[in-house]
Amino acid sequence: MTLSIWRYSHLILAVSSSLFLLVASITGVILSVEPINNKLQPYSISNAEGLSLAETLANINARYDDVISVSQDQNGFVSATVIIDSKNESFYIDPITGDKLGPIIEKAPIYQFATNLHRSLFLKTPGRLFIGLASLLLFFIAVSGIVLIAKRQGGIQRFFSSVVRENYAQYQHVVYSRIVLIPIVILALSGVYLSLLRFQLIPETFITHEIDFDNLQEEPLLDYTNFELLKNTPLSELRDIEYPFSEFVEDYYLIRLKNKEVLLNQYTGAPISEKKYPMVTLASEWATVLHTGQGTILWSIVLGLGSLAVPFLMFTGFAVYFKRPKTNIKNTVPKEKARFVILVGSEGGTTLQYAQLLHSQLLALGKKSYLAMMDDYTTFKSMEHLVVITATYGQGEAPSSAIKFETLLKKHIQKQPYHFSVVGFGSTSYPHFCEFAYETNKLLQTTPKANALIAQVHTVNDRSFEAYTNWATAWGNLVGLNIRLTKPTKLAEKSHKSPFIVLEKTEAQDMIDDTFLLTLKNTNGAQANSGDLLSIVPGSGEQERLYSLGKLDDNIFTISVKRHPEGLCSNYLLQLEKGTTFSASVVANKNFHFPKKAKKTVLIATGTGIGPFLGMIRSNSRKNEIHLYWGGRTEDSLKLYKPFIDNALESGSLTTFIPAYSRTQTEKKYVQHLIKQDGEQIAKVLRKKGCVMICGSIAMQKEVLNELQSICNRYLKKDLSFYQNRKQIKMDCY
């Protein structure tokens, strides 16, 4: 079944049962306190479990003349019903001394109220039916939830591997449901069972004894303390024992043990009848204990927490659904007439939102653009340009709107030639970054009539609007259109601007490879760490640009900037004078913070990617092992950072610095070559729970990841994803 079917089933089940589940779970939390409260009453006697039934009865009979019955409840509390002054009295007793301990616990009104609401909503039979159905739906919700988590995590074997955080509600929903799913499944199933029992859909069977009254003997007479069964059965096995009603031989001891019922001749102690409880009875008891937690504090707490989690999961689950972008598409141009066809592979709807920006812009430019999902692929008679924009899910799999794309692509061969371009939306936090986009690109390359406009897939990490718009502008140039996408407010992050003062700046004449460093002081104390991003908007109506921050001191940061000849932001930053104040905001990038616990870290960067690492190395006051691999063009390229690196090596905050220069020798050397060369040492870092951090271009990231994968295969016999999931590989590439 496809992911979307599971997701919709999960949602519909949750919506249809939400009110009942809310009532049942809140009352369930209240009811989970009752068994804990009961169990904590002082009626449990240590050492009593070792007593035999014969000893227990002897102790009680010695204290009371007329005993009617002795019982033991789920808490292990022993009670007796005796006649005192011609009146029946029931109370808890000490089975060793026979002392009266206290009155039988009565259900407090709050528990009585909660029980009625929980079982039947005070609606008697219809209420019981609703609650029974809600339990069944809860079971299906839990099962579909398990499937969804397994799919999201990339297989059941990775069920408990770390969850990629996309937003608060989604993260909490997945993390907490993994913890409470098992108790919820048990609660739901036992609830269904108890409802079926109540409606007699599971027939309750009762024990009936056949007694041969004519053959009951009074000889050989034995004292009850010598009855075999009473002597050999421990008290812990007892549920209750009813004494003979009279001295007639036809009256007997009725003994209910945990697994059977026995009738004992009161004179000889011979069993008159012995019957094991039927499976249904035992199953019903188990269902009751599992559902109510009676008799165990630990299970009651688990059930209480499970019940408490239900409203929380409902809340976060609905939040996930309502936060999901709307995905309805309205086309004004019929597909037969469209020159531009944009196909989207999306699951959560964000990719579609981005695609809609391009579609609207094309329409605004008077172009015939048609927007559809990848699974709507068909014959497009006038198509000249196909743009496929797709997310990746699972382990590099298609999102739900692109599952049939491959089949459809082979089925509907276009008559006219056309150009195609593929944009991949994904996240470098997942092991198979944008893999489905790469596969789609490969597929299109072998499709008749399809010609690549841009051979490479353009990847967009973590919905970076900047990365997307860069591609859109480049694509527009190739097709002769001036595409300038503007970030819709709904995609804009809410960030608070702070004033930053320029403390230091590489002078234009000192720039190497068009790169310069800016040292900035934040004057109103916005908190940031190395690896967080500085968002700068170079002019009103312009898109933000993000720069990775290196924290040099409290409120002092550095950014490493590559000037692009036409780059609005890089040129804006370059012309800032020392002492100038400008406005920017900090965007948290928690996944790219220096690891707190790792003793050894490998940092890999090219060009300006070194920026955040400068801050991380500076903060390494504990002198943990840090190895920095850096790729630049020539030795000259290092000039900007050299004083810093030399200083760090001298102070011990950096252990080794290994550069790769691509233009100093005839044979080009890149960081991935260094990684390959030092594979064994890097494997050791990963094995010792150390961390590898990568910052720089996506192209470099791809090569380095390939090398890391080979290192993991060769030295560690594990897939790279194993370390990615443990956050031992951290990346921030652009």
Could you please report the per-residue DSSP string of 22-54?
Answer: HHHHHHHHHHHHHHHHHHTSTT--TTGGG-BHH
Q: Which of residues 321-350 bind ligand FMN (CB under 6 A)?
A: 346-350
Instruction: Please report how many Cα atoms fall inside a 13 Å half-sphere around the Cα of residue 255, on the Cβ side.
Output: 26
Residues 6+ apart with CB under 8 A from 311: 22, 25, 26
Q: From the list 92, 420, 425, 592, which residue makes contact with ligand FMN (rule: CB under 6 A)? A: 425
Is residue 351 part of the contact set for ligand FMN (CB under 6 A)?
Answer: yes
**Are 222 and 230 a contacting pair, CB within 8 Å?**
no
Q: How far is the CB of 196 from ligand FMN (least distance, A)?
A: 36
Q: How far is the CB of 53 from ligand FMN (least distance, A)?
A: 58
Q: Binder to ligand FMN among 463, 521, 639, 676 (CB under 6 A)?
A: 463
Binding residue for ligand FMN, selected from 235, 371, 423, 434, defined by CB under 6 A: 434
* Residue 392 binding ligand FMN, by CB under 6 A: yes
Q: Which residue number, 187 or 344, has a Cβ lying nearer to ligand FMN?
A: 344
Please identify, among the stretches 122-130, 176-184, 385-393, 718-726, the one whose residues bind ligand FMN according to the rule CB under 6 A.
385-393
How far is the C-alpha of 548 from the C-alpha of 532, rounded, in Å?
Answer: 6
475-481: long-range pairs with CB below 8 Å, 24+: 475/387, 475/421, 478/453, 478/454, 479/385, 479/419, 479/453, 481/362, 481/365, 481/367
Is there binding between residue 433 and ligand FMN (CB under 6 A)? yes
> Pick from 293, 426, 612, 631: which binds ligand FMN (CB under 6 A)?
426
606 forms beta bridges with: 631
User: x-or-dash pattern for ligand FMN, window 153-182, by CB under 6 A?
Assistant: -------------x----------------
- Report, in Å, the least distance between residue 152 CB and ligand FMN: 3
Site for ligand FMN in 33-72 (CB under 6 A): none
Closest separation in Å from C-beta 173 to ligand FMN: 11
Instruction: Pick between residue 4 and residue 97 the one whose CB is nearest to ligand FMN.
Output: 4
Decide if residue 619 touches ligand FMN (CB under 6 A): no
Strands 271-276 and 581-587, sheet pairing: unpaired
Which residue sits closest to ligand FMN, CB atoms considered? 426
- Which of 51, 230, 391, 686 contacts ligand FMN by CB under 6 A? 391
CB count, 10 Å around CB of 258? 12
- Number of residues that this document lists for the chain: 734
Segment near ligand FMN (CB under 6 A); pick from 221-229, 394-402, 642-650, 676-684? 394-402
Write down the least CB distance from residue 690 to ligand FMN, Å: 24
Torsion 358-363-367-373 (CA) sign: positive
Pair 626, 603: CB distance under 8 Å: yes
- Does the CA dihedral 670-676-677-683 come out positive or negative? positive
Confirm if 127 and 187 have CB atoms less than 8 A apart.
no
- Sites for ligand FMN among residues 114-153 (CB under 6 A): 152
d(C-alpha 392, C-alpha 164), whole Å: 14
Identify which range of 273-281, 389-397, 438-446, 555-563 contacts ligand FMN by CB under 6 A.
389-397
Shorter beta-carbon distance to ligand FMN: residue 152 or 563: 152
Distance between the two ends of the chain, CA-based, in angstroms?
35
Peptide bond into 220 cis (omega under 30): yes
Residues that bind ligand FMN (CB under 6 A): 152, 166, 346-351, 391-396, 399, 425-427, 430, 432-435, 463
